[in-house]
A and B are shown apart, each in its own frame.
Chain A
Amino acid sequence: MIRRNWLPLAVLAALALAPVAGFASSYETTLMARIMILAMAAVSLSFLVGGAGLASLGHAAAVGVGAYAVVVLDAQGVTEAAIVLPVAIVAAALFSLLTGAIAIRTSGVHFIMITLAFGQMAFFTASSLSAYGGDDGYTLYSRTEVAGARLLENRLAFHYIVLGALALTWAVCAMLLASRFGRVLRAARENAQRVEAIGLAPYPFRLTAYVIAGAIAGVAGVLLANATEFVSPAILSWQRSGELLFMVILGGIGRLWGAMLGAVVFVLLETWLAEITPHWRMIFGPLLVIAVLTMRNGLSGLVHRRHG
């Protein structure tokens, strides 16, 4: 377990030690929080893409539903985590259940496009919520409270809560994939007809996976809203869904932790290039193309090959 997963464990350990090792400034913890939250969403997407073979181009919508749950409750004066978190999870799961029930009937390219369509619907719905800022977004004046305490306002506490959520996400997704449920998912990804032939319908398994991934993305949305203290429709735009998908592919589809690696590299590269030049996308774009053309199994594939 440890030998095969040394790299993601090292990444998690580094993130755990970073604040103690002197990386505790507001800028550094904000950057790390962004990495960890996006990694969480990317791991849940990797569970879908790599595990169930469902390449969703609307995953940011589920993140957005979670974030908007925080906003809607905040506007009612509710900031207690014991209420916010369950509401966000149920809302994101419900959104995934409704959209997934239709989307999973299609496959391949059509699945990509229909999840994109649902993502766009969510985006325009968020833009239409004039009570919550509409296009301009909504500023949260305080973070979510835990049992009445302003725990998340504490930089260190927030850092470790997000880290714990990421580790938990990875563990839960890995355990699900290794379970009987996960075996059916993987088998259906390889050959749905054979799975049907042995008497199992892939549809409910896929839908369950879609809902689970959506619920995790919802939690990531709650954390993201708290990290930035601002929510706008931009967080559920299709470009965000695309970026999540790229973290998954960049990291390598076959391994869940690849998505974590992809998120780390993506955010660091984006931040670093943006500091060098305002035209960083002109460098970032070709890098993406080169990465796709040269790395068939993503970053985790490179690591894996070197270590046999």
Chain B
Amino acid sequence: MTTQLLLVQALNGLQLGILLFLVAAGLTLVFGVMDFINLAHGVQYMLGAYLGASLAAATGSFWWGLLLALPAALLAGLLLEVLVFRHLYVRDHLSQVLATFGVILFLNQGVKLVWGAAPLESPIPALLEGGVEIMPGLQYPLYRIAVLGAGIVTAGGLWWLVERTRAGMLVRAGATNAPMVSALGIDINRLFTMVFAFGAMLAGFAGVLAGPIFSVEPGMGDNVLILAFVVIVIGGIGSIRGAFIAALLVGLIDTLGKSLMPDLMRLFLDASSARQTGAALASMLVYVAMAAILAFRPAGLFPVRA
């Protein structure tokens, strides 16, 4: 493992972390404000990727695809909220898990029906093709740097929105004590719907960005969903700051683990089994981290409710 490879993997890890943050941000807000477990948040990421890829193919431009996919993802989120999720806020967590799992089954299969089971192609926009020399003799894809930048800008915007605006203040207040906010005369249901649709759009945005990097295929949201849950549980449910730090942590652990573990395993095993064992153990690392953090801080790193 050279320092160059380590640098590339660290950048990849940060970029995975940023994508995870975009998904986790909506999840943690919905979870924190509405006390609602939305397993279907992952399919909103998938939907974003599909909408982005197919709209880009239809318009012939990645940018039009991105521009049109965002409101489409927002609408999809609104539609799901009105049709299904709204009726689940008062129910217990288990009912929410069950019903949103039903939504996952439907949409994963629906995507297969509309776009087919084969992965969809999502080309990198011409403007961002090629690489940048980040170190003498070391090229890094420009698109991945752009994703990193877009994610950081979005995270900053989100921070400003949540910490510095009136709407954000209500969201934070809702995460701490929703009944109290409602008692003070705020239409909590409208706030819920807004937060929900916004979260769906962020997940969709992450999906569009991820399209050219990962393969756009049915079920692509499931793994991201589980990782996003790990992120919000580590970060503390309802905390944007916690989600940001935990997302970068999870992205780095996962990516670095996947590149380092097989080499580490080669000390004990032959090459082919080292690759398999190392990859599997690396996938396990984030869960080990989560279990360890929860064992010592049962409410996560930045608990919202004291």
Interchain CA distance A267-B291 in the complex, whole Å:
33
* Contact between A112 and B106, CB atoms less than 8 A apart: no
- Interface residue ranges, B against A (CB under 8 Å): 31, 37, 84, 87-88, 91, 93-95, 97-99, 101-110, 112-113, 222, 226, 229-230, 233, 237, 272-273, 276-277, 279-281, 283-284, 287-288, 290-291, 294-295, 298-299
* Contact between A288 and B98, CB atoms less than 8 A apart: yes
* Contact between B109 and A121, CB atoms less than 8 A apart: no
In the complex, which residues 268-308 of chain A have their Cβ closer than 8 Å to any Cβ of chain B? 279-282, 284-289, 291-293
- State the main secondary structure of chain A at its contact with B: helix
Interchain CA distance A239-B295 in the complex, whole Å:
25
Nearest A-chain residue to B289, judged by Cβ: A117
Interface-located stretch among A3-11, A123-131, A170-178, A201-209: A123-131
Using known A-B contacts A285-B102, A286-B102, A292-B102, determine if residue A242 contacts B294 with beta carbons closer than 8 Å. Answer: no
Interchain CA distance A55-B98 in the complex, whole Å:
12
- State the main secondary structure of chain B at its contact with A: helix
Interchain CA distance A130-B84 in the complex, whole Å:
43
Interface-located stretch among A62-70, A78-86, A102-110: A102-110
Using known A-B contacts A120-B287, A125-B280, determine if residue A288 contacts B108 with beta carbons closer than 8 Å. Answer: no
14 CB-based A-B contacts, threshold 8 Å: A105-B295, A105-B298, A110-B233, A113-B230, A114-B233, A114-B291, A118-B287, A128-B276, A279-B112, A285-B106, A287-B102, A288-B101, A289-B106, A292-B102
Interchain CA distance A239-B99 in the complex, whole Å:
14
Interchain CA distance A112-B95 in the complex, whole Å:
13
Give the chain A neighbours of B113 by CB distance below 8 A: 279, 282
* Contact between B37 and A109, CB atoms less than 8 A apart: yes
Interchain CA distance A117-B233 in the complex, whole Å:
11
* Contact between A112 and B93, CB atoms less than 8 A apart: yes
Q: Which 9 A-B pairs have the closest CB atoms?
A: A128-B280, A288-B102, A285-B106, A285-B105, A281-B109, A292-B99, A289-B102, A124-B284, A117-B287
Q: Does A19 contact B (CB under 8 A)?
A: no
Interface-located stretch among A149-157, A221-229, A245-253: A245-253
Q: How many whole Å from A251's CB to the nearest CB in chain B?
A: 12
Give the chain B neighbours of A131 by CB distance below 8 A: 273
Give the chain B neighbours of A245 by CB distance below 8 A: 94, 97-98
